[in-house]
Amino acid sequence: MNVEELSRTGQVSKAEQWEQALHLLYINFQDYSKAALKKFDEEDIHQARVNSRKLLTLLAILDPSHSSGLYPYFKKAQKLLGKVRDDDVLIDSFKKRRKHSKEAEDTKSAELLKAVINYQKEKRKKHRQRLADELPKLLGKKLDEQWNTFLTALLKPLVAKRDANVVMRELEVAFEQKKQSCRALFRRPEGDSEEAYEALHQLRIGAKELRYTANAAAFALNQKFHTHEQIYSEIQGQLGQINDKRVWLQTLNRIGREELDISKKTWEVFTDTLKAEVLDALHQEDIANLIGKSK
């Protein structure tokens, strides 16, 4: 039985449920992190980051003031892993885009994308080196000692004071507030402003936070929240269609045309295409309904 199943049968106490869930994530985090440092395997990087994020999620529920001293360890690890993971995802997405360009015999776009991929690979080398230098320092004996102290001395009183259901409801309220702010910005006469897109990005972050909480704290949540992981995963995915293409544009603008040695015409055609795709995604039915925007 997993933690959620044991909690339903009443075979373990509330504190024991939390301890089992937390410690499994901790073991996974340590194992995947150590594996990631050996070969920088994409799945190991991904799983190490996921488990660090879930640990942060549960610690934020139990210990919002971060009194245990554990939060900074996992937060720094998540950031280090996140830099490499974001590079992996971005490079993979540009490779897929380049493949489609080549199939469509769009040689100019394929050339631009190859230059971007090579640039991002060099950037990833630096992020991998920083990960190799700094992550081992976070995984050592000191963290193990603090973790054991947390489980044996601090966890039980924290569990007695905190309710994951209350936190989940607070996150729902915050998400609805972000959604209303987003709708208000997109209804302005100027329409698709940077401020509106930033609000959309924050809405996506809110959906991600709800998804992670619904998943990581499933064992401690009431039945009514058990469908939330799927609901907010779908919303995050919908908003991700826009965010991904905006990240591509931001990446291109950060690097710059001159750095990539790409002609002005090729650059303008490609970036204009991406901008059009962002607008098209914005007017898809699911997203238009979510933010109250006319199709």
Report whether pLDDT(83) > 90: yes
Report whether pLDDT(8) > 70: no
Say what the pTM is: 0.89
What is the pLDDT at residue 241? 84
How far apart CA 269 and CA 128 sit, in angstroms, is: 33
- State the chain's mean pLDDT as an integer: 91
Report whether pLDDT(36) > 70: yes
**What are the boundaries of each domain within the chain?**
12-106+120-162, 163-295
User: What is the per-residue pLDDT across 200-244, written as a single tens digit (0 to 9) for each?
Assistant: 999 999 999 999 999 999 999 999 998 999 999 999 988 888 888
User: What is the per-residue pLDDT across 230-240, written as a single tens digit (0 to 9) for each?
Assistant: 999 999 988 88
Query: For the chain, where are the alpha helices, taking DSSP H only?
Result: 3-9, 14-39, 42-62, 71-103, 107-138, 141-149, 155-161, 164-186, 194-216, 228-255, 257-260, 264-282, 285-291
Longest CA span, the chain: 67
pLDDT band of residue 191 (cuts 50, 70, 90) is: low
Report whether pLDDT(189) > 80: no
Q: What is the dihedral sign for C-alpha 112, 113, 115, 119? A: positive
How far apart CA 162 and CA 116 sit, in angstroms, is: 47
User: What is the per-residue pLDDT across 135-185, written as a single tens digit (0 to 9) for each?
Assistant: 999 999 999 999 999 999 999 999 999 999 999 999 999 999 999 998 888
Query: Percent of the chain having pLDDT more than 70?
Result: 94
User: What is the per-residue pLDDT across 68-81, written as a single tens digit (0 to 9) for each?
Assistant: 999 999 999 999 99
> Residues 220-239, buried b or exposed e (16+ Cβ, 10 A)?
bbeeebeebbeebbebbebb
Report whether pLDDT(11) > 60: no
